Structure formats: C-alpha cells, structure tokens
Amino acid sequence: MTIKFGFYLFPQLTQLDFAGPFEVFSHVPGGEVHLAAKTLEPVAADTGLKLTPTTTLDDCPQLDVLCVPGGPYVDCLFDDEATLAFLRRQAAGARFVTSVCTGSLILGAAGLLKGYKATSHWTSVDMLADFGAIPCTDRVVIDRDRATGGGVTAGIDFALTLTAELVGETVAKMIQLATEYNPAPPFESGHPSVADDVIVNAVNKLLAERLERREANAAKYRKIAS
C-alpha cells in the first residue's frame, strides 16, 4: 500500500524541520514523498540552502500525511490565502495533518488545530492558543489525526513516532537504526528547562525582534477570529 507523504515548502523555511522527517519518511516501505510549493522553482531555506519542489500546490495529489515545517517568518503566511487554501484542501482528505517546529502556527492559522493538543518551538508554543489549539510542551504530540513536533531537531522524533503509528514500531526502529539516530548531545542545553539562564536570556535577546513580530501577528489573527 502506498503512503503519500507531502511537505509544504515555502521561502525561508528551516531546512532541518523538513530534512529530518524527509529522511525518515523516505525509508518507509511503500512511502512516496512529495515536495509541494507554489511553483517548481527552487525554494531557499533560511540558511540559503535551495530545495527543489516536485509538484505545485495545484497539482499535488491527495496526501495521506501532510507536513508543514517551520521557519523564522511563518507569520508571513498567516494570511496567505494560497497557502491556507492548500492546507485546508489537503487536510480534508489526509490521514494525518502534521507539522514540525513553528509549522504548527501555520496549521493554526489555517484553522486546522482548533480543539487539538499541539506543540511548537519553545519560543512560540504559547501562541498556539491564539489559534484555538491546546499548547503542550511535549517533544511530540499526537492528538487524533493531528501530529506535531517541537523545535527543529524534534522533527526526527516526530517522524519516527508517526512512522510507528503508520506501519508499526518494528519498522520505525529499523529506520532509526539504519540512520543511526542515537543522539548524545555534547551539552545539556537544548531546552530552557535544562539550559543555563545566561544562555536562555541570550537566545531570547537574539530572537526578540522575530518573536515580537510573530506575537503581534498571532494576536491580530486572534482578534480577527473572535
């Protein structure tokens, strides 16, 4: 049985949000991975890496698993009708509607997380409430047919967890071993709950302008929705 996976590619996405799950899903038996974008022109990630779409939004087949990565400018898509219409259309027939990192905010803007538990990057997880979702700080959250992963590297955990749901734990474990996903981070600094305060404060300061803009756009969405 073919399982159609699809990622929505947009300018300035965070490539690792996409690349981790892409690697996992590409190894799923019967898996077929589509990369959908507005055009077939290469899409530049936030680091400059260019990704090549395989289909346009209009030509994308109905997906079994729709996945939206995040990025620093996801709030620019909160009112992008082409993006939101594509996600809503695909969600209507998908088996799972999913995201990694701040991609969950885009799903929220499309109205696809209302009443669902969901997670996001630690800097933005609380904003999910603006879209009617129930914010969770877990690294991977599955609520019925919605599956969301936390920030960036959580995409691999998310993809393996979802793979187990789709084709069984044994296959997921085989993919984990084949890709040698055996994380042993050199520092205990991957989340505010374990990082030193000075590091947390420095990162918050670094991201302050981005987060202020994102919060303002999320609040604007909440005002319009109410």
Question: Catalytic positions, please?
Answer: 101
Task: Give the whole-angstrom CA distance, residue 73 versus residue 100.
Answer: 14
Residue 141 region, left (φ>0) first, then alpha (ψ -120 to 50), else beta?
beta
Copy the structure tokens of residue 221. 């969405």
Question: What single letter denotes the amino acid at residue 130?
Answer: D
Residues with Cβ within 8 Å of 188's Cβ and at least 6 positions away in sequence, in order, are 194, 195
Tell me the angle at which helices 154-167 and 169-178 cross, rounded to the nearest 10 degrees: 140
d(CA 174, CA 181) in angstroms, rounded, equals: 10
- Specify whether the CB–CB gap between 142 and 158 falls below 8 A: no
186 SS3 class: coil
Q: Which residues contact 209 (CB under 8 A, 6 or more apart)?
A: none
CB-count burial class (<10 Å; 0-12, 13-18, 19+) for 215: middle
At residue 92, what is the residue type? A
H/E element, 158: helix 154-167
